Amino acid sequence: MNGDTVLVGSYWDDVGSNTDQGSVYVFTRSGTTWTQQARLTASDGATGDSLGISAAIDGNLAVAGAWFDDVGSNIDQGSAYVFTRASGVWTQQDKFVASDGAGGDLFGYSVRVDDDTAVAGTFRHEIDSRSRQGAAYVFTRSGSNWSQQAMLTASEGAAFDAFGFSVSVDGDTTVVGAAHHDFVGSSTCCSSQGAVYVFTRSDITWSQQAKLEASDGAINDRLGYSVAVSGATVIAGADGDDIGANLDQGSVYVFTRSGTTWTQRANMTASDGGASDDFGHFVALAGDLAVVGAPSHHVGGISQGSAYAFTTAANLTPTPTATPTPTPTPLPVPGASAWGLAALGAALAVIAAWMALRRRKSCWTESPSRPEWRAKGPSPMSLSIGRPLALAPGGEVSLRSARGSAGHQELALQSFRLNERAAVVWRLSP
């Protein structure tokens, strides 16, 4: 999401006779009304490409991954497509492929774009005979021409690290998650503690600035399953983190930069978290506002999913603000599409509960949440929410659902604007 534009990936969408070719839908807002502006498809799309497994937008520029795209004779090498908008009309501008791509790389599983810089991850790429170490590729635009500027790899990468599983870019800083990286010195094979790597650009040269690890990291935490960077702050999801006796509840780590030094500042968890919630599976960050998805969070004994928003606004007091009145607007959706990065299709029901948060140095705290509102929708068994599509700089949040049961081929986009002194928790009511 960027400003008044939302991208929704539909990677199981059939295009003509091409099953699962995939597409990306563009919706724009005028006042409180959302309308479909475009459906983006690849000019050379084919069956099974799965365009829309990832999607990112910045202004009039959109990038979408097609991780199963066959490039030449390389099956499932993957690619990413660039689209631009002029006067409300979207056109394909370019197609990204890795200069050293190979079959099975799944390039484009993760993509992000900022201004004239785009980054695409390929977490299965082989590096020096190290299977699935992974890489991330940086592309830059000059005029309307895109070119590969760099290939990013971890300085101490190893086989099966899954470097590139998640990516994020802001200006001259790129962050890459390696969710299955083993802790250096560990005697345990395949520990998947995870790590996050920070790269910075000077002129046209990228170099690794830091490797971020959790101070209390453990086996199967999967730090770096999701990442986001904004200015001098990085947040990284560890969706397998055990919290107390809750296995795989998940958490999100906050790191900040001073000069060239990065420091862990906080570890965020859900106040009502439970085992196997996968909190941190998805994250988004814009300034002092962060959104975290917990797609397996149990509500009323059912794994429905939740999304949590945190704010770190300066001088935020712990006094809860007055409960606002949310005004969700339904988003029209073609009935034949399978929606979203998780094949959206179920009706998205969102509940707003307001929380006041404050930060003291590196400590994040929250006050009790406000009452919840029940939202209408199909059977909760068919829903899994808690996956934020994007977070706009102005505090606008968009959430998406996972694929629902047969017959539920609708999507309702719920968006709320946050004020300066509050955050929102969305939860599906049983």
The whole-number pLDDT of residue 1 equals 86
User: Is the confidence at residue 327, as pLDDT, over 50?
Assistant: no
Identify the CA nearest to 117 among candidates 206, 250, 11.
206
Task: Return the minimum-mean-pLDDT range out of 37-51, 149-163, 246-260, 402-416.
Answer: 402-416
Question: What does the pLDDT average to over 225-233?
Answer: 97
Each residue's pLDDT tens digit, 58-74: 999 999 999 999 999 99
Contact partners, residue 88, CB within 8 Å, separation at least 6: 28, 37
Task: Return the minimum-mean-pLDDT range out of 54-68, 133-147, 172-186.
Answer: 172-186
Higher pLDDT, 165 or 369: 165
Question: What does the pLDDT average to over 299-314?
Answer: 84
- Nearest-angstrom CA–CA distance, 195 and 406: 38
Query: How much is the mean pLDDT over the chain?
Result: 78
Question: What does the pLDDT average to over 124-149?
Answer: 97
In three-state secondary structure terms, 382 is: helix
Each residue's pLDDT tens digit, 370-419: 222 222 222 222 223 333 335 554 555 544 443 333 333 333 344 433 33
Higher pLDDT, 381 or 306: 306
Four-CA torsion 169, 218, 124, 202, nearest 10 degrees: 30
Pairing verdict, β 363-366 and 135-142: unpaired
Q: Which fold has domain 69-427?
A: Methylamine Dehydrogenase; Chain H (2.130.10)
User: Is the confidence at residue 205, as pLDDT, over 90?
Assistant: yes
Measure CA 36 to chain center.
22
- Nearest-angstrom CA–CA distance, 15 and 234: 37
In three-state secondary structure terms, 306 is: strand
The whole-number pLDDT of residue 300 equals 86
Identify the CA nearest to 236 among candidates 220, 222, 219, 216.
222
User: Is the confidence at residue 289, as pLDDT, over 60?
Assistant: yes
Higher pLDDT, 93 or 340: 93
